[in-house]
Structure 1
Amino acid sequence: MSSTLRALPMMSKASTGIVFVFSLSANVFAQEIVTTQEVRQEKQEKQETEKAQGEQAQKKDERRRSQVKATADKPQKKMVDAPVQQVQIQGAKQTEIDLRRNSIAGRIIIGREELDRDGDTSVGEILKRLPGVTVGGRAGRGGDVRMRGMGGGYTQMLVNGERPPRGFSMESLSPDQVERIEIMRGPVAEFSTQAIAGTINIVLREDFQAKDTDVKLSMGIEQGRLAPNLSISHPGQWGGVQYSLSGSVFRNGQQDRSESHKTELHEETGYTVLQDQLDQTERHSSGIHLTPRLSYKFENGDHLNFQPFLMNSRSASRHATTMTQSPDMPDSTTGQRPFAYASAHNHADSTSGKLSLNFQHRFDDTSKLTLKIGAGLGRTDSDSYRQQFASNGEVLNLVSDVNRSDDSSFSTGGKYTTPLGEHQNLAAGWEIENGQRHQNRVSLDNGVPQFSDSGDNLDASTRRFAAFVQDEIDISAQWSGYAGLRWEGIDTHSSKTNYVVNNESRVLSPIVHAVYRIPGAGRDQIRMSLTSSYRAPSLNDIIAVPTISPYNSPTRPDRSGNPDLKPELGRGIDLAFEHYLASVGIISINFFAKKIDALIRRRTELLSVGDKNRWVNTPVNVGQAHASGIELEAKFPLRELFADAPALDFRGNFSRFWSRVDGIHGPNNRLDQQPTMTANVGIDYRPQGAAMQFGGNFNWTPSFENQLSDSQTSFTGIKRQLDAYVLWKLTSLTKLRLAASNLLANEAVNANSLELNRVFYVQSNRAQTYRVLNLRLEMKW
C-alpha cells in the first residue's frame, strides 16, 4: 500500500532539510537585595500563597546548601556564611528555571511571560512550541495534543492537577486564564499515571499578589472575518478573603475548503471507480470562560481555597459538498447511491463547569494535610440536518442526528505530607471520583433509524479510585531521589435497552526518579527515571454506540466501541543531561524508551447493520509496541555567550522518534499518527528600556507514513507554521501587540489506503489553511 500512496502526485515526498540553532528564551526576574527584617516579612507573605512545589523546592535548596557547607572547610564556611546571614534572597520568587532544576521528577515550567509573548489566542497555539509537543490537525484549527508524538490518550491533560470536565476544550481556552503550564515527561504517584507519553498540567490564574487589574482587548482577522476577544483579571482582598476574578469572552468566524480524491480498484476485473469531492464549510462560534479564585486564611494558619470554573461555547455551521463519480453507480458493498450535491446545517451548545474546594491544615511538626472536594456538571446539545441530491435534483437522503448528553461528577481526595528527618519528605493520599452520563441520540435516514437502538437512553457511570505514597529525599549534596507507588482502579458500567456493558481495570504503578548533580560542573545535573504508566480505554471506546459517517466507505467508516477492551500498560526509562548557563539559560538532551503491552488499534470491517452493509471501525487490543526517542532543548540570551551581543533570546527544540508495533509488517509500523521528528526554533529581540520588541517562531513536522495494519496505510503531509509578533510599550501600563500566525499558509495534505479482498481503496485529501492577524491592547490599572 505504501507504493500506492507514493503514486499520488500530490504526495511526492521530497527530502526536506532544516538547519537551526537550539536556543531558548528565558524569563528574567530582577533579584532584589533586602535587609534581614524585610526578607522575613516577604517570606511570611510568600508562605501564605506559594504553591506546594515552590515551597518544597526552596526547602530542598536550603538543605543542599547546608550539606555543602558541612563538607567545606571552616575558612570557606566563614566566608560564605557571613554574607548569607546578612543578605538573604531565599524569599525571592524562584524563576521557572529554578523550579525546573530543583524538581526531582523533572518539570518544565512555562510562566506568564512566555504565555503572553507571541500573542496567541488559544492555549493550543502555545502548546505546539513546547519541547516534544505536537498538535494534530491542520494549522490554525487545532487538534489532539501529543507528547513524544503520541496522541489518542497517551498524553494526559490536567487542569489544576485534575481531570478537566467533559466538554472542556483546549482550543477555546484563552491563555489569559492560565497562570502557568507544567510539562512532566514522567509520571508521579500524586497524579494519575494515565500518562504513557507524559502529562501537561494547565494551572489557572491565581494572582493574589498582583496589584493591578489586567484588561486585554483583541481583534483577530482571518479571510476578512473578525474575531473579537476580551479578557479581564482583577485581584483584591475583602476582609480575610483574597480573591482573583478572571474571565474572557470571544467570538469568531471561519471558513474552510478542502478537496478529496478517491480511487477504488478491483484487481481481478480491473473495474475502477473515481470520485472527486469538494467540501466548503462556514462556521461561527462564541463563548465565555469564568475562572474566579478565592482564598481564606484562618488564625491558626489553615487555608481554604475555592475555585469555580465555567465554560460555555456555541457554534453554528453550514456545509456544502459537491461530488462527481465515474461511473455513476451504487457502491458495490453498501449499495449507497452517489450524490451530486449535499448540504448540511449543524448546531452545538456546550456548557461545562466545576467547583473545587481545597483545605490545608499545618501541624506543629511541619506536617501538612490537604483535603479536596470537587463537583462538575456538563451538558452538550447538538443537531445536524443533511440533504443529499442526485444530479437531476432528486432528494436521495434526508439525514438528521439529534444528540443530548448530560454529565456529572463528584470527586474527593486527600494528601498527607510529613518530613522524615531534615532531608526527606513522605507523602501519602487517596482519590475517589464518580462520573455519570445520560445520553439520548436520535439518528434517522429518511425517517428510518440508522442503528437499531436509535432514540434509546444511554446511562453510563465511571468510578475511579486511587491510593498513592511517595518519598522524596536529598541523599547528599549530589544525589536526590524520588520513589512512588500508585494503585488505581476504574470501573465502567453502561446500559441501554438491549444490552449492559461492564469494564474493569486495576493498575499498580511503581515509579523511581533520581537526580545527580555533577561535582565541579556548576549547576549541571543528570536525571534518571524508571516508570510504569497506563492508558485506560475511553468511555466512547468501550460503549458500542456507533458514530455514523455520512459518506460511508472503507476510508470513511462508521466508528463504534468495544466493551472488551483492556488498558494499555507502559513501562519506560528516561535519561537526561541538563546544562544550566550562568543566568537563565539551559541546554538539555533527553533519551527515552518505552514498551507498551495490550496496544489498542482500530480495525475497519464490513458489517451488517440492520438491513444494510456498513463499513465500521472498532478498537481492539493487538499486542505490544516499542517506542524510543531523543529530545533536545536549548534556550538562552545571546549575551550568555557573547557579552557585547544584541539583546536577542534564542529558543529551540528538536525531537526524533522511533516506534514499532509488533505483529504488523513494516517498514512504517509505528504508533498511530506518530511523526518521525519535530522541531521548533524561535528568536526574540527585547532590548532593555526599548519601546518596541519583536520575535518569531518556526514550527516544523515532516511528512510521514503509518502502517496501521497489514492492509491499511495512512500518510500525513509536511506541516510548517511560521508565527511572528511585534510589541509596543505605549506607557508603563499599556502595551499594543500585533501577532501574525500561520504566515506560510501551506496546504494540509493527508491520505489513507486500504486493501480488502483484492480491492484497493485510496483516498487523498487537501485542505487550505489561512493566515491570521491579531491586534491586542493590554492595559493595567
Structure 2
Amino acid sequence: MLDLITLINIDDSAGDRLQCRRRAAPALDARAVADSTLPTRAAMPSSSPYRRRPSGCYLLAVPAAVWHALVAAQSPAPAPPAQRVEIRADPGSERRADVAGRQVVGRADLLRHGDTQLADALQRVPGITVERRGQAVELKLSALGDGRTLVLLNGEPLPRGVPLDSIALDSLERVEIINGASVETAQAIAGTINLVTRRPTALATRDFRLSLASEWGLPQASATLNLGDAVGAATWGLGLTLSSDRRRWPATDVLARRDVGTGSETQRTRTDKREYDHSDAISLNPRLSWKRGDETGGQWQLSTDHSLRLAQANGGVADRRTPLRGPPPAQQTSDMALNYQRLFWRWRVQAQHQATDSAKTEARANITYARRDQQARALGYDFDQRLVQDTAVDGLAVDESLVLNLNHQRPLGETHRLSLGAEWEQARRKEDRVQTEQDLPGGLPPDNLDERFDARVQRHAFYLQDEWAPDDRTAMQLGVRMERLETDSRGNVFDTVRQTHSLVGPVLRASWRPGSGRGTVKLGLSRGFKLPAPRDVMPRRYVPIAVSPTSPAQSGNPDLQPERAWSLDASWQDKVAAFGGDMVLSASLRRIDDVMLDRLIAQPAVLNAPWLLQRVNAGRAWSTGLTLELRGQLEHTALAGAPLRWTASGSLARSRLSDVTGPDPALPGQAPWQLKIGLTQALPRGWTAQLGLEARGASKADLPTDRRIENLSRHGLDASLGWQPRRGQTWRLSVAQLAASDDVTLRTVGVTEAGGAAVYTAREAWHRDTVWRFGLDSTF
C-alpha cells in the first residue's frame, strides 16, 4: 500500500520540471496526480543541495494511501504498469508577469556548466555581453559599457574597488536583469544586473563543490562548502569557499607610425606582453533569518547576511619589445612585479513586516569595506641590457560605504498598490600612493611622488510609485525618483572640488495582454544617469611604461559632470507551440546627454607623459538595440522522451555621437551584433551533454581628437558532459573557449608633432586558450 509513490525524480536537464513516478494506484490515475497542486518549492533541479523535508509529492502520499486502502478493501485490482507524470513550470511565466520584464537567471542555470567565475556563467545569458581585457572584466547590457550597466549586490551598487571575481558564484541564489532605470535604481542607463545572494532556508543544506581547471597549462582549484538548517523560528546558512588560481593573459601589441606627408611608415614595434597572477583566497558567507508572528496576524522577519573575502596575490606584467622598423624604443624589456592583499567585508541587516492587509514595510542597512594594499616594482632595460628604470610604488586604497533604505508598500483598493521609499548613502574612497624612482644613466628623470586622494559622495533619494491594474490584462507602473548627490574630491596635489547634482527621474511602465491572447506587450520610459568613477575625477596620473598616442598616460578631470539619459524600452513575449517554448522580442532607444568620452592632450614638455588621455563631457549620444530570444525543445526518435532543449538569442546594436565627426562616430566597444546558442541533451544512465556558442561582430568608433577604436569580431565554443550516478551528486567535465578567436582591438590616432602630421596605429590582441575544467557537486 505504501508503494503508491516510491520515487521522486527531478530532471535537471528540464529546468523547472518535477517528475513523480508511481507504481500502484488502482483508484488514482495520472491525471489526478497531475491536477494536484504542488508547492513551487518542489520544482528544484536534480543537483539541488537540499535534503528535502516533506514536499508536495510526499504530501500526496498520505491522502492517496488512505484512498488506496479503502478501495483495495472493497475490490482489489491489479497494479497498472509504471507511469511517469511531469509537472513543468513555464520558465517564461515570471518574466511575462513582471511589468518591467525582469529576467531571472536561477542558481541551477548559473551552476549548470560547472563555472566558478561569475563572468563565465553570465556570458551565456541572452542580452549580457562580457568584455575582457587581461584581468579586467566588464558586464554590458545592450552592449553599452563604460559603467552604463549598473551591477548591484542585493539591490545596492557593487562597492567601488570590489572586482567582479570577488563575488563567489556559489554564494548567489539568482541574477535579476532589468533594462533601463527604475525608481529603486536610477544610476543605470543601459540597465541593472542584480546579484542576489543565498538566503537561509528551512530545508537542511549539506553540499560541497569541487572544481579543478587548467588554462595555458596553469592549474586552478576551488572548493566550496554550504551548510544550513532551521532551528525553531530561525534559519541559518554558511558558505565557505577556498580557491587557488594561477592565471596568465598573454597579448601582442604592434605599434606603427606613418608620416601623413610622405605616406611612409617610419616606425614599427612589436611588444609581447604577459600579465600573470597567482592568488589564494578564502570567502566566508554566514547568514541568519528569524520569523515570528504578531498579535494582529502579521509576520515579522529579521535577517542578516555577511560576506568576507581575503585574497593574497603575486603577479605582474612582463613586456618584450622587438623593433621592426625605425629607431628602437627606449626599453627592450620591462618587468613589473605586483603583490597585493585584498580584504572585502559586507554586512547587511534587514527587518520586514508583512501585515494581514498585504501591506509590507522593509528597512535595511548595508555596510561595505574594501581595502587593497599593493606593492609594485618595475624594472626596465634598454637594448644594451642596461638598467634604465627602477620604480617602486607602495599604494593603499580603501573604499567604505553605508547605505540605509526604507520602503513601504500598501494596496489602495483592489487595483492600486503604492510603493514609497527613501535612501541615504555615505561613500568614501581614500587612496595613498608613494612612488620612488632611481636616477639612472640613460633613463628618464626620476618622478618621485607622494600623493593622497580623498573622494566622498553623499546621496539622498526619495521615490514614489503606483502599481495599477485597470483590468486583468493590463498593468502599469507610474513612479518618480528624486535624487541629490554631493561630491567632495580633495588631495595634496590638486585643489578641492565640490559638486552637487540633482536628478528627477520619472519611470513609466505598462504591460498589456491583447484580447487575442497573442503574447504580452511591455513598454517603459525612464530617466537615469551615470556618475563618474573616482579615478575619472581625481587628477592623478596613470603612466604606462611606454607612452605613445595609442597608449597615453591618463588623468582624472575634477570638472566632469554625470551623464543623463532618457531610455525607451519595449518588448513582446509569447509562447510558441510550434517548438514548445517561448519568444521574447525587445527593443531599446537611449538618448545620453553629457556623454563621457576621452580626449587626447599633447604635452611635449612633460617628459614622463608627453601624451595624456582625460575624460570630458562630449555632447549627446544616441543608442538603439534590438534583441530576439528563443527557447524551445525538439523531439526526436533517437532518445524517446528526452527532447533536445535549446536556447538562441540574437541582438543588434547601434550608437551615434552628435558632436564627433568621422565616418563612424559611435560609442566605443559596442558590438553591432551578437549571437548565442545553447543546446542541452539528456542521455541515458544519468548523462547530460551541453553545447554553447557565442559570436559577435566587429565594431568601429570615431572619437574626439581624431581617435578611432575598432574591435574585431570574435567567437567561442563551450561544451560540457555531466553524469549523475545518484540523486544529489553530479560529475562534470567541461571545456570553454574552444577554438576561440583572440580579442583584437585596433587604435588609430592622428596627431601633429614637431615633424609634421602623423598617424599612429596599434593592434592589441589578447590571446585566448582552451580552459579544461573537472568538477564535482554533491550533497552529504
Cα distance in structure 1, aligned partners of 2:149 and 2:766: 26
Cα distance in structure 2, aligned partners of 1:298 and 1:555: 62
The aligned amino acid for 1:752 is R
Identity of aligned residues (%): 23
The aligned amino acid for 1:638 is L
- Give 1:755 shift: 0.3
Alignment of 1:686 with 2:686, yes or no, is no
Cα distance in structure 2, aligned partners of 1:29 and 1:654: 26
Matches within 5 A, 1:634-713: 634-639=630-635, 646-686=642-682, 690-709=685-704, 711-713=706-708
Could you say if the C-alpha distance between residues 196 and 281 of structure 1 is closer, same or farther in structure 2, counting changes exceeding 3 Å?
A: closer
Partner of 1:508: 504
SS at match of 2:108: helix
Could you say if the C-alpha distance between residues 181 and 640 of structure 1 is closer, same or farther in structure 2, counting changes exceeding 3 Å?
A: farther
Deviations 1:93-127 (A, max 9, x none): 97652321211111011112211211112110122
Cα distance in structure 2, aligned partners of 1:508 and 1:500: 27
The aligned amino acid for 1:512 is L
Deviations 1:491-536 (A, max 9, x none): 11121124211122111110111111122326x1111111111111
- Give 1:327 shift: 6.6
Partner of 1:100: 95
Deviations 1:692-737 (A, max 9, x none): 0011100001222211236111121221110011110111122101
The aligned amino acid for 1:674 is Q
Alignment of 1:521 with 2:517, yes or no, is yes
Partner of 2:551: 556
The aligned amino acid for 1:494 is S
Matches within 5 A, 1:364-763: 364-446=356-438, 454-497=449-492, 498-521=494-517, 524-581=519-576, 585-607=581-603, 614-639=610-635, 646-686=642-682, 690-709=685-704, 711-757=706-752, 758-763=757-762
Partner of 1:205: 198
Aligned 8 A contact 1:565 1:620 in 2: yes
Cα distance in structure 1, aligned partners of 2:194 and 2:485: 21
Partner of 2:215: 222
Cα distance in structure 1, aligned partners of 2:233 and 2:205: 19
Cα distance in structure 2, aligned partners of 1:234 and 1:203: 18
SS at match of 1:554: coil
Cα distance in structure 2, aligned partners of 1:657 and 1:609: 42
Among 269, 276, 282, the alignment partner of 1:282 is 276
- Give 1:155 shift: 0.2
Aligned 8 A contact 1:262 1:274 in 2: yes
Q: Which has the higher contact order (CA 8 A, sep 6+)?
A: 1
In structure 2, list runs of 5 or more residues that go unmatched: 1-12, 21-30, 44-86
Partner of 2:176: 182
The aligned amino acid for 1:262 is L
SS at match of 2:428: strand
Aligned 8 A contact 1:328 1:338 in 2: no
Deviations 1:388-431 (A, max 9, x none): 11122211111222210122211111001100012321110000
The aligned amino acid for 2:17 is F
Deviations 1:421-476 (A, max 9, x none): 12321110000010122211012332699998931322221111111011112111
Among 171, 187, 194, the alignment partner of 1:194 is 187
Matches within 5 A, 1:37-48: none
Cα distance in structure 2, aligned partners of 1:314 and 1:487: 41
Aligned 8 A contact 1:262 1:762 in 2: yes
Cα distance in structure 1, aligned partners of 2:136 and 2:252: 19
- Give 1:221 shift: 1.4
Cα distance in structure 1, aligned partners of 2:411 and 2:775: 47
Partner of 1:3: none
Matches within 5 A, 1:127-142: 127-137=122-132
Cα distance in structure 1, aligned partners of 2:238 and 2:586: 39
Cα distance in structure 2, aligned partners of 1:129 and 1:271: 42
Aligned 8 A contact 2:453 2:538 in 1: no
* Worse-superposed segment, 155-164 or 662-671: 662-671
Cα distance in structure 2, aligned partners of 1:45 and 1:371: 30
Aligned 8 A contact 2:552 2:609 in 1: no
The aligned amino acid for 1:212 is T
- Give 1:320 shift: 2.5
Aligned 8 A contact 1:382 1:403 in 2: yes
Deviations 1:136-159 (A, max 9, x none): 125x96621111111111101001
- Give 1:640 shift: 12
- Give 1:632 shift: 0.3
- Give 1:591 shift: 1.6
SS at match of 2:558: coil
Alignment of 1:27 with 2:15, yes or no, is yes
Cα distance in structure 2, aligned partners of 1:209 and 1:328: 71
The aligned amino acid for 1:557 is P
Cα distance in structure 1, aligned partners of 2:659 and 2:338: 41
The aligned amino acid for 2:387 is V
TM-score of the aligned structures, taking structure 2 as reference length: 0.85
Aligned 8 A contact 1:501 1:543 in 2: no
SS at match of 2:542: coil
Cα distance in structure 1, aligned partners of 2:548 and 2:745: 17
The aligned amino acid for 1:709 is P
Aligned 8 A contact 1:165 1:354 in 2: no
- Give 1:614 shift: 2.2
Deviations 1:63-97 (A, max 9, x none): xxxxxxxxxxxxxxxxxxxxxxxxxxxxx997652
Count of aligned residue pairs for this structure pair = 700
Cα distance in structure 1, aligned partners of 2:660 and 2:446: 32
In structure 1, list runs of 5 or more residues that go unmatched: 1-24, 47-91, 331-336
Give the number of the structure whose alpha-carbon radius of gyration is greater: 2
Cα distance in structure 1, aligned partners of 2:723 and 2:212: 16
Partner of 2:292: 298
The aligned amino acid for 2:201 is F
Cα distance in structure 2, aligned partners of 1:234 and 1:265: 63
Among 219, 235, 249, the alignment partner of 2:228 is 235
